[in-house]
Structure 1
Amino acid sequence: MHALVEQLRGTLLPAVVTPMDSTGVVSYDALEPYAAAIAAGPIGGVAVWAHTGRGLFLSEADRGKVMATWRAATSAPLVAGVGVPRSVEPGSLREAEDATVGMAVNAAGFGADAVMVYPLAAYGSLPDGEAAAVRLHQRVAAESGLPLVGFYLHGGAGGYPYPPSLIKELLSLPEMLGVKTATLDQAVACQDAIWAGRDSGKLLITGEDRMYGPSMMWGADTALVGIAAAQVELSAAVLRAWTAGDHAEFLKASDRLDRFAAVTFYDPIEGYVQRMLWAAVWEGLLPEAAASDPYGPSLPAAERDLVIRCLESL
Structure 2
Amino acid sequence: MKFKDIQDNIKNSIIPAVPVPFNEDGSINYDAQQSYVKWMNQQPIKCVALWAHTGRGLFLSKEQREEVFNSWRNGLSDEKLILCGVGAKNDGQIDDERYIEKAVEMAVHAKELGADVLLPYAPTLFRGRQDQDEMIIKYHKKIAEVGLPMVLFFLYEAAGGITYSKEVLRELFKIENVVGIKMATLDSVMTYQDVSNLIMEEAPHVSLITGEDRMFGYTVMRGAVGALVGLGSIYTKLQNEMLNAYYNGDYKKFIEKSIVVDNLAEHTFYYPMEGYIERVLYILAKKGIIQMEAANDPYGPLVTEEEKKRIDRFIEKLGDM
TM-score band, normalised by the shorter chain?
over 0.9
Out of 264, 267, 278, the position equivalent to 1:263 is 267
Any conservation in 2 of the 1:167–1:179 contact (CA below 8 Å)?
A: no
Question: Could you tell me which residue of structure 2 aligns to residue 312 of structure 1?
Answer: 316
Q: Cα deviation per residue 1:83-135 (whole Å; 9 max; x = unaligned)?
A: 1148x775212221111111111111121111100011233323332232122
Matched, 1:119 2:145: no
Question: Could you tell me which residue of structure 1 aligns to residue 30 of structure 2?
Answer: 28
Residues 262-281 of structure 1 mapped to structure 2, 5 A cutoff: 262-281=266-285
Aligned CA-pair RMSD: 1.5
Residues 6-85 of structure 1 mapped to structure 2, 5 A cutoff: 6-74=8-76, 75=78, 76-85=80-89
Deviation at 1:5? 0.6
Question: Residues of 1 paired with 2:28 and 2:89: CA distance?
Answer: 16
Query: Which SS does the other structure have where 2:194 is aligned?
Result: helix
Question: Could you tell me which residue of structure 1 aligns to residue 102 of structure 2?
Answer: 99
Amino acid at match of 1:259: N
Question: Could you tell me which residue of structure 2 aligns to residue 210 of structure 1?
Answer: 214
Query: Which SS does the other structure have where 1:236 is aligned?
Result: helix
Structure 1 unaligned regions, length at least 5: none
Any conservation in 1 of the 2:286–2:292 contact (CA below 8 Å)?
A: no
With the length of structure 2 as denominator, give the TM-score of the two structures: 0.93
Any conservation in 2 of the 1:178–1:202 contact (CA below 8 Å)?
A: yes
Question: Residues of 1 paired with 2:180 and 2:280: CA distance?
Answer: 26
Question: Residues of 2 paired with 1:166 and 1:313: CA distance?
Answer: 45
Any conservation in 2 of the 1:171–1:200 contact (CA below 8 Å)?
A: no
Matched, 1:237 2:241: yes
Any conservation in 2 of the 1:15–1:53 contact (CA below 8 Å)?
A: yes
Question: Residues of 2 paired with 1:227 and 1:173: CA distance?
Answer: 29
Query: Which SS does the other structure have where 2:138 is aligned?
Result: helix
CA shift in 2, pair 1:235/1:163, >3 Å: farther
Question: Residues of 1 paired with 2:89 and 2:96: CA distance?
Answer: 14
Q: Cα deviation per residue 1:212-253 (whole Å; 9 max; x = unaligned)?
A: 000011101111000011111222121111111111011001
Question: Residues of 2 paired with 1:155 and 1:184: CA distance?
Answer: 10
Question: Could you tell me which residue of structure 1 aligns to residue 141 of structure 2?
Answer: 138
CA shift in 2, pair 1:89/1:58, >3 Å: farther
Amino acid at match of 1:131: E
Query: Which SS does the other structure have where 1:115 is aligned?
Result: strand
Any conservation in 2 of the 1:168–1:197 contact (CA below 8 Å)?
A: no
With the length of structure 1 as denominator, give the TM-score of the two structures: 0.95
Q: Which deviates the most, 265-274 or 186-195?
A: 186-195
- Structure 1 stretches of 4+ with a deviation exceeding 3 A read none
Matched, 1:151 2:153: yes
Question: Residues of 1 paired with 2:238 and 2:141: CA distance?
Answer: 35
Question: Residues of 2 paired with 1:287 and 1:157: CA distance?
Answer: 29
Question: Could you tell me which residue of structure 1 aligns to residue 112 of structure 2?
Answer: 109
Question: Residues of 2 paired with 1:206 and 1:250: CA distance?
Answer: 16
Any conservation in 1 of the 2:86–2:120 contact (CA below 8 Å)?
A: yes
Deviation at 1:192? 1.6
Structure 2 unaligned regions, length at least 5: none
Query: Which SS does the other structure have where 2:213 is aligned?
Result: coil
Query: Which SS does the other structure have where 2:84 is aligned?
Result: strand
Question: Residues of 2 paired with 1:179 and 1:90: CA distance?
Answer: 29
- Say how many residue pairs are matched: 312
Query: Which SS does the other structure have where 2:140 is aligned?
Result: helix
Deviation at 1:300? 1.6
